[in-house]
Structure 1
């Protein structure tokens, strides 16, 4: 049972990086690729149908982490408290930007919330790299290696976001990429958590919750998994390239 839940947790964590990674990557590229207001509108519209479905994976990761590995909750939250708070604030700013940017039509209003999307995406991307290093090594995230991993994750997400735009809207942003290219960039975005999980596997297996707790968790969580996967498949099939991707330029 411990190994099964480790595989489930690994699938959820890598799935989050592979899916939410392109959302954050598009946010990172907003001030670079979206040089006009129309361009930024179309970038946000390209990722808009996927955002909420992708964020569900983070909720699932957090629930599984603290349910399957309860010993880690105090350690992770205590040691990484400032970083976790900064990442939560970045998440709030990014999502607020997505929801508020079109509430008014002024240039200053749009520009401010576009900047919040980019800033929040940067905070989350960079923070994930530092958090992964600190969790894997048990050291402070504020060190040269942690910073370098933060930069690496940020660059991987930016590349993943660029590949997503080239797949979702071929030619709109200067490039065209196939679904296989998007799958490859998703794998690249998932490499950092795969490395962490490989290093932490013995520790996680030793600190898994009791069999009774895992049985209860299985009854609660596993019936929901097909719904989450089904919803994800529906989103990707419904909003694949060739659909009316830009009828609504942003969130409403």
Structure 2
């Protein structure tokens, strides 16, 4: 049961990094991809059908950690509290701006929401980078610091941005697409840039998770026997729904029909 719990945790964490990395990266580059209000709406519409479903993977990761590895969860939450609070703050600010952008009084409100989307996306990416650095440097119970963190966290954020560019080149049209394509370049098939950035994003997440003492901090066998079978049933359903959403919205966005 411990092995299956670890596998489910890894799948959910990698799923969030790879899938949510698309909308996080696109949000990070929102001011550059969209130069006016209409173009920014187009960029937001490119990931609007996905971002809530993508965030489910992070919620699932936290849920598995709490249920199947409660001792480790407590140690991580207390040790990485500043980083996790920053990640949650960026996440909330970003989602609130996405939901309220089209409900405000005018262009200044929309510009402020766009700025919150960008700032929130950068905050989430940098926070995830700091968390990965702490795990990879065997310091899971204190925030990462020093020169390594100053270099590695922005590098992870840049990887998110590159992932967002690959996604934007698949979904956008018009001038925003041309800007994304200019940086992505021509790399074989259209989905190749997205796949190329998905590999290091998922690989870094797996590598960081492998440094945690998951087996030693697993819950009691009785608890795992209750939780893991239920998670094993729900996870394929989550994958199926996610696959359907990505298939249903696989085309390019031609107009700002959301947000």
Give the equivalent residue in structure 1 for 2:208: 196
User: What's the TM-score once normalised by structure 1's chain length?
Assistant: 0.91
1:170 positional shift: 5.3
1:130 to 2:130 alignment: yes
Give the equivalent residue in structure 1 for 2:165: 162
1:166 positional shift: 0.3
Give the equivalent residue in structure 1 for 2:258: 250
Distance 1:16 1:186 in 2: 11
- Bigger shift: residues 204-213 or 37-46: 204-213
Give the equivalent residue in structure 2 for 1:182: 194
Gaps of 5+ in 2: none
1:85 positional shift: 1.4
Give the equivalent residue in structure 2 for 1:209: 219
Q: Does the aligned pair in 1 maintain the 2:42–2:255 contact within 8 Å?
A: no
4+ residue stretches of structure 1 with deviation over 3 A? Answer: 246-249
String of CA shifts for 1:19-68, please: whole Å, max 9, x gaps.
Answer: 00111001100112211111111000000011111000001000111122
Name the SS for the 2:103 alignment partner.
coil
User: For residues 140 and 181 of structure 1, do their structure 2 counterparts lie closer, same or farther at Cα, with a shift above 3 Å needed?
Assistant: closer
Q: Does the aligned pair in 2 maintain the 1:26–1:161 contact within 8 Å?
A: yes
Count residues with an aligned counterpart: 247
Q: Match for 2:154 among 137, 151, 154? A: 151
String of CA shifts for 1:193-228, please: whole Å, max 9, x gaps.
Answer: 12212333xx21222222211111124322221221
Distance 2:146 2:85 in 1: 18
User: What's the TM-score once normalised by structure 2's chain length?
Assistant: 0.89
Q: Does the aligned pair in 1 maintain the 2:42–2:172 contact within 8 Å?
A: no
